[in-house]
Amino acid sequence: MGCLAQLSNPKMLLVYAAVFAALLPAALPLSAYWPVVLVVWLVEAGWYALAACAFSSARVRHRYLRQQAIIDRLAALTLLCLGLWLAFTA
């Protein structure tokens, strides 16, 4: 169920499209597409496996919930900086 929810999430597609547009060369050879997709899949699978293992601990969940506002603000700031960098360098 979680996999279907993630695959149907257009936000994920937009984030990867923005990152790829900023970081990959414009003339990427066709043979490089599959390694890029494989790396993205490995990063996503690894992240969700790590998050599931970490948040299965009540102690980790409690610490995260206490710091959630700070973490959310740092994530928003990071995305803002990436967006500004894209806007002014593209």
d(CA 70, CA 65): 10
At residue 3, the pLDDT reads 67
At residue 58, the pLDDT reads 94
Q: How many CA atoms lie within 13 A of 63 on its CB side?
A: 7
Q: Is residue 72 part of a domain?
A: yes
pLDDT digits (tens, 9 = 90+) for 30-55: 888 788 888 888 888 898 899 999 99
Q: Is residue 82 part of a domain?
A: yes
- Split at pLDDT 50, 70, 90, the class of 1 is low
- Split at pLDDT 50, 70, 90, the class of 89 is confident
Q: Is residue 23 part of a domain?
A: no
d(CA 75, CA 28): 29
Q: Is residue 3 part of a domain?
A: no
Domain span including residue 85 = 32-90
CB 21 within 8 A of CB 84: no
